[in-house]
Amino acid sequence: MSNPSGLAPRFPSPGTTANKVSRLQMLTLALRILLVVAIGLLAAGPCLFDLNQLTLLTEFFTLLVLALMWNLLAGYADIVTVGQQGFVGVGAYAFFGLAALAGVDPFLSIILAAVITAVLAVPALLFILRLRLAYLAVGTWVLADVLSLIAGKLPGFGGGSGVSLPISIARAFGGSVSQRVITLYILAFILAAAALTATWSLLRSRVGLGLTAMRDNEEGAKSAGVDVPRMRVICFLWTAPFLGLAGALVTLQKVRVAPSASFSITDWTIFIIFAVVIGGIGSLEGPIIGTALFLLLREYLADFGTWYLILLGAVSIGVILIEPRGLWGFWRRFFPIDVIPVSHKSPENMNRTDFAGISRLEHSHLHRETEEKA
């Protein structure tokens, strides 16, 4: 630390640090209460929102699932894929084939679509994980395009132009438009809640410890004994069924399948990358913030045509230049808290304090602030 004056650095007084920790704890509690209230309101959505709002929220839940999965791959396992739309399309076509062509119960077809997507992910895994960096991104893109071309050649699926979902399948989710909107909202809410809870549980497990270490420093994680290839395999196979489920819900929302829509790189990958990057990659809060912000920008700026897309690009570049960890990373510069905690703290470490009751992590943060001021 540079100290030209020769004087000892000034550390915050015990009372100041204790007050700051208390404020951070109160802020964390307030944000968690707000999150619980928001979840409760969303759970009661059919009673609170009109059909247009329910449709928008259904799309939000679907995009949130995709954002959580891409964040897990790119933010933790360092699998920067540009082909996520491939598994979304597989789930969409699997659902249509089972429900419309094979006559399987539509609700069961949603689950089976996830199973088929997970099974297909196994051979894809053998190809994808042999690649790294730019080759990995290009490889996933190529794989998704190959799947899209195959889907366009399948008999009974309408070829390259696609085919609409039979009315009988749509009516299985509700006899009227309002009933179908409510049913899809409930299904999307359950899927988003399951994806968030499952991902949080994964990150809280022993696997999550390895993934968090990889996120912070992959070489350091290797030297600490983390089996990096195994972590990547788990993440890749973990995301596949959720992407398949999202693809089935997308088919129900659009009431049709087509290679250009079901395998859309713009809708299911590019916009998702934007949401995760501006929200905050490598966290659970980031995808939620980014997805909500993306939908807000789209709703209010879509009428500007190509300027809307240019603005999205400008916003993402600006966020990356200011804070590579996104908006949530920028927030944590000033308030180092986690609304959705994924780290582990033993009772000893929680009670062990340094420097007038401040935890080791918070002490290091305040110490860094003092160094910068000095």
Q: How confident is the model over 303-313, as a mean pLDDT? A: 82
Among 67-81, 208-222, 264-278, 338-352, the range scoring the smallest mean pLDDT is 338-352
Determine the Cα–Cα distance for residues 225 and 210; give it in Å rounded to an integer: 9
Per-residue pLDDT at 200? 94
Percent of the chain with pLDDT strictly greater than 90: 59
Q: What is the pTM of this model?
A: 0.86
pLDDT of residue 372: 46
Q: Is 51 helix (H, G, I), strand (E, B) or coil?
A: helix
Q: Please provide the DSSP assignment of 248-307 as one string.
A: HHHHHHHTEE-HHHHT-HIIIIIHHHHHHHHH-TTSSHHHHHHHHHHHHHHHHHGGGTHH
Q: What is the mean pLDDT of residues 293-320?
A: 86
Instruction: Give the number of other Cβ atoms within 10 Å of residue 117's Cβ.
Output: 30
How far is residue 58 from each of residues 137, 254, 286, measured CA to CA in Å?
29, 12, 19
Model confidence pLDDT, tens digit, residues 20-35: 778 888 998 999 999 9
Question: What is the pLDDT confidence band of residue 365, given thresholds at 50, 70 and 90?
Answer: very low
Please check the confidence at residue 271 and state whether its pLDDT lies above 80: yes
> CB of 93 within 8 A of CB of 261?
no
Q: What is the pLDDT of residue 44?
A: 95
Question: Of the ranges 59-63, 79-83, 342-346, which one carries the lowest mean pLDDT score?
Answer: 342-346
User: If you write DSSP's letter for every residue of 67-122 in order, what string do you get?
Assistant: HHHHHIIIIIS----S-THHHHHHHHHHHHIIIIIS---HHHHHHHHHHHHHHHHH
Average pLDDT for residues 166-180, to the nearest whole number? 92
Average pLDDT over residues 330-351: 72
- Cα 269 to Cα 63, 94, 120, 363: the distances in Å are 10, 20, 19, 39
The residue-averaged pLDDT of 94-120 equals 96
Q: Note the pLDDT tens digit of each residue in 111-140.
A: 999 999 999 999 998 888 788 778 888 999
Ranges 9-23, 130-144, 272-286: which has the least confidence: 9-23
Residues 260-280 as b or e (16 or more Cβ within 10 Å = b): ebbbbbebbbbbbbbbbbbbb
Locus of tokens 């909202």: 185
Residue 345 confidence class, pLDDT cut points 50, 70, 90: low
- Tracing tokens 């990373």 back to the chain, one arrives at 329
Count of beta carbons in the 10 Å neighbourhood of residue 156: 10
The answer, yes or no, to whether residue 84 has pLDDT greater than 70, is yes
Which domains are present in the chain? 48-364 (1.10.3470)
Residue with tokens 């308030």: 335
Buried b (16+ CB within 10 A) or exposed e, 199-224: bbebbeeebbbbbbbbbeeeeebeee
* 275 in Cβ contact with 291 (< 8 Å): yes
Mean pLDDT calculated for residue range 146-163: 92
Residue 349: per-residue pLDDT: 45
Residue type, 306: T
- The predicted model gives 190-201 an average pLDDT of 96
Closest CA relative to residue 41, chosen from 26, 53, 59, 27: 53
Query: Higher-confidence residue: 42 or 373?
Result: 42
List, in sequence order, every residue forming a beta bridge with 256; answer none if it has no partner: 164
The encoded tokens of residue 40 equal 């409760």
More confident residue, 110 or 300: 110
Q: What is the pLDDT of residue 134?
A: 83
pLDDT of residue 351: 40
H or E, element range at 164: strand 163-164
- Which range, 75-84, 143-152, 206-215, has the best average confidence (pLDDT)? 143-152
